[in-house]
A and B are shown apart, each in its own frame.
Chain A
Amino acid sequence: MSPRRISRLWRIAAPLAVGAFFLAVWEVAVWAENIPPYILPGPLAIVGSLWTDGPSLLGALLVTLRVTLAALAAAAVLGGAIAVVFSVSRILELSLFPYAVILQVTPIVAIAPLIIIWVREPFLALLVCAWIVAFFPIVANTTVGLNSADRNLLALFQLYGASPFQVLRYLKLPTALPYFLAGLRISGGLALIGAVVAEFVAGTGGAETGLAFRILEAGYRLAIPRLFAALFLLSLTGIVIYLVLDGLSRVLLRHWHESALEEGEE
């Protein structure tokens, strides 16, 4: 086997081995110490709960996922648009950016109750909460990207009489793309967190309940294996969102950006 194949094998095998070892220690500890499942269930009990409660948990997951993806899409579109507006008008950037920061640093848990009161439509209320958490990395990153255009290329565009729109379309937007995608990867995880936090605050406000509420409910009923099963599904969702966005970034940048180059490639 070539060294590169061995290293790829390690990249998959090593974390899997660590995970398997950890789960085995966990199972043995629970069994040996006789820990009751309402304190800490073993991995096998969690898998069992995943099997029995799986279908209903998946339904709840879909509810949460819908909020997450809608918030992420809104963050990408509006965040990108806000960054473009900032890059066009320095005055607007200077006057509005501090408020974007304020929105970002205010804990979502603290303002979620207000949003849920103000926005009557439950889905929309959750969407707004998740969006507030998710949009900032996209705005901040894309703004930096739009201001990072190569100075000599800018001079060249000027020399050839480019209009401001042409500079944006052919120079600033392509320069900003890797920054935007880096922001999007961060926002993917944040949108999920925002959706979960909003659901915690909203409780059963809506007709459909998401995964976060199922976690709360399982906690109240001491159905700890189900709580773990829901938690597992949430983590898995977060990982999948990250991998999808990472893959998207690689596909879009594969021809030119350093971040998308394969290891060992020049």
Chain B
Amino acid sequence: MAPGISYPVEKGFGGGLILSFRGIGRRFASGVTALEAIDLDIARGEFLSLIGPSGCGKTTLLRIIAGLAEPSEGERRLSLTTDGSGHIPSGRVGFVFQDPTLMPWSTVIDNVLLPFRLAGRVGSAERERVREEIRAVGLDGFEGAYPRQLSGGMRMRVSIARALVTDPDLLLLDEPFAALDEITRIALNDDLLRLWEKRRATVVFVTHSVYESVYLSTRIAVMTARPGRIAADLSVELPQPRERTLRMSPSYAAICARVSNALEVAMARQSQ
């Protein structure tokens, strides 16, 4: 295994884009087409949600964006500060899985420190950065706790802190809150928004909740299954910063209805 993920990374290309996909497809060995003809441009600072029924390939698409899966066809470009080695530089892309995916044998602080440890940089500056990030996700006082001593929501916060600790340009989240209860989920939605507003990283967020996607995103891509395609691309014109009261507003409800409708149309077309 080569260190890092081989990927066409460039120093920067036009239009303030961070990512540009043309005709990306992915077929499994079984012959199933997971993704077909995906064209996707993501601008710097966008909060993009990928939404769709299960099996529509949104997780596969996210893994291709991260370089964890290879496309079978198409052209992909990623614009990051790069060393020109053709690899994603360590820590420029953060990934949060559906499960917290923590190392159970390590404390909170060692889990968040992992990206630095793997980059071979574990100095006092990095340790200070880790403490700061643990505070930012509201876990101060739990630095020495082990994952099993934490609730599901707290574990997810650790996972988010680990993804953010290297200040990534691109943050990828794969249904991170799907397994959490409603109250924890709403709290973490707000925390994620605050962290995004503060740093202006580009976020790609996979979810199957219409309400969550509208509340969080500046843009929503609706996907369909068999084959996985992007059926609709909607921009979410709601005021920034997002506040909790927004969830009660008519404009929020209107956009939710639009997204739900686009999802229904897409699924109806798919079942034909």
Q: Are B146 and A256 in contact (CB under 8 A)?
A: yes
What chain B residues lie within 8 Å of A155 (beta carbons)?
63, 68, 95
Bound Cα distance from A157 to B103, whole angstroms: 11
Q: Quick one: closest B residue to A261, CB to CB?
A: B148
What chain B residues lie within 8 Å of A157 (beta carbons)?
118
What chain A residues lie within 8 Å of B105 (beta carbons)?
174, 177, 255-257
A156 adjacent to chain B (CB < 8 Å): yes
Q: Which of B66, B104, B146, B147 contacts A159 (CB 8 A)?
A: B66
Determine, out of A117-125, A164-172, A204-212, the stretch whose residues face the partner at the interface.
Answer: A164-172
Q: Which of A164, A170, A256 contacts B114 (CB 8 A)?
A: A170
The proximity string for B residues 97-128 relative to A, scoring 1 for CB distances below 8 Å and 0 otherwise, is 10101011110000000110111000000000
Q: Which of B63, B68, B93, B103 contacts A153 (CB 8 A)?
A: B103
What chain B residues lie within 8 Å of A161 (beta carbons)?
3-5, 87-90, 118-119
Interface of A is mostly: helix
What chain A residues lie within 8 Å of B12 (beta carbons)?
none
Q: Quick one: closest A residue to B2, CB to CB?
A: A161
Q: Are B90 and A150 in contact (CB under 8 A)?
A: no
Bound Cα distance from A156 to B5, whole angstroms: 11
B91 adjacent to chain A (CB < 8 Å): yes
Q: Are A159 and B103 in contact (CB under 8 A)?
A: no
Count, A-B residue pairs, CB within 8 A: 63
B152 adjacent to chain A (CB < 8 Å): no
Q: Specify which of A152, A155, A161 lies most central, judged by the most chain B CB atoms within 10 Å of its CB.
A: A161
B1 adjacent to chain A (CB < 8 Å): yes
- Distance in Å: Cβ of A213 to nearest Cβ of chain B: 44
Bound Cα distance from A174 to B88, whole angstroms: 27
What chain B residues lie within 8 Å of A174 (beta carbons)?
103, 105-106
What chain A residues lie within 8 Å of B4 (beta carbons)?
161
The proximity string for B residues 61-96 relative to A, scoring 1 for CB distances below 8 Å and 0 otherwise, is 001001110000000000000000001111101010
Q: Are A257 and B118 in contact (CB under 8 A)?
A: no
What chain A residues lie within 8 Å of B68 (beta carbons)?
155, 158-159
Q: Which of B93, B101, B118, B146 contacts A152 (CB 8 A)?
A: B101
Q: Are B148 and A160 in contact (CB under 8 A)?
A: no
What chain B residues lie within 8 Å of A156 (beta carbons)?
95, 97, 101, 114
Q: Which of A142-198 contact B (CB under 8 A)?
A: 150, 152-153, 155-164, 166, 170-171, 174, 177
Q: Are A166 and B118 in contact (CB under 8 A)?
A: yes
Q: Are B104 and A160 in contact (CB under 8 A)?
A: no
What chain B residues lie within 8 Å of A150 (beta carbons)?
101
What chain B residues lie within 8 Å of A158 (beta carbons)?
1, 5, 68
Q: Which of B1-56 contact A (CB under 8 A)?
A: 1, 3-5
Asked if A159 meets B3 with Cβ closer than 8 Å, knowing A150-B101, A256-B146, the reply is no
Q: Are A152 and B147 in contact (CB under 8 A)?
A: no
Q: Are A255 and B103 in contact (CB under 8 A)?
A: no
- Distance in Å: Cβ of B60 to nearest Cβ of chain A: 13
What chain B residues lie within 8 Å of A171 (beta carbons)?
103
The proximity string for A residues 99-118 relative to B, scoring 1 for CB distances below 8 Å and 0 otherwise, is 00000000000000000000
What are 28 A-B contacts with C-beta separation under 8 Å? A152-B97, A153-B101, A155-B63, A155-B68, A159-B93, A160-B91, A160-B118, A160-B119, A161-B5, A161-B90, A161-B118, A161-B119, A162-B118, A163-B3, A164-B1, A166-B118, A170-B117, A171-B103, A174-B105, A174-B106, A177-B105, A255-B146, A256-B104, A256-B105, A256-B146, A256-B148, A257-B104, A257-B105
A-B contacts besides A161-B88, A255-B146, 16 pairs, CB < 8 Å: A153-B101, A155-B63, A156-B97, A156-B101, A158-B1, A158-B68, A159-B93, A160-B114, A160-B115, A161-B87, A161-B90, A166-B118, A171-B103, A177-B105, A256-B105, A256-B148
Residues of B within 8 A of A (CB): 1, 3-5, 63, 66-68, 87-91, 93, 95, 97, 99, 101, 103-106, 114-115, 117-119, 146-148
7 closest A-B pairs by CB: A161-B4, A161-B90, A256-B104, A160-B118, A152-B101, A162-B118, A174-B105
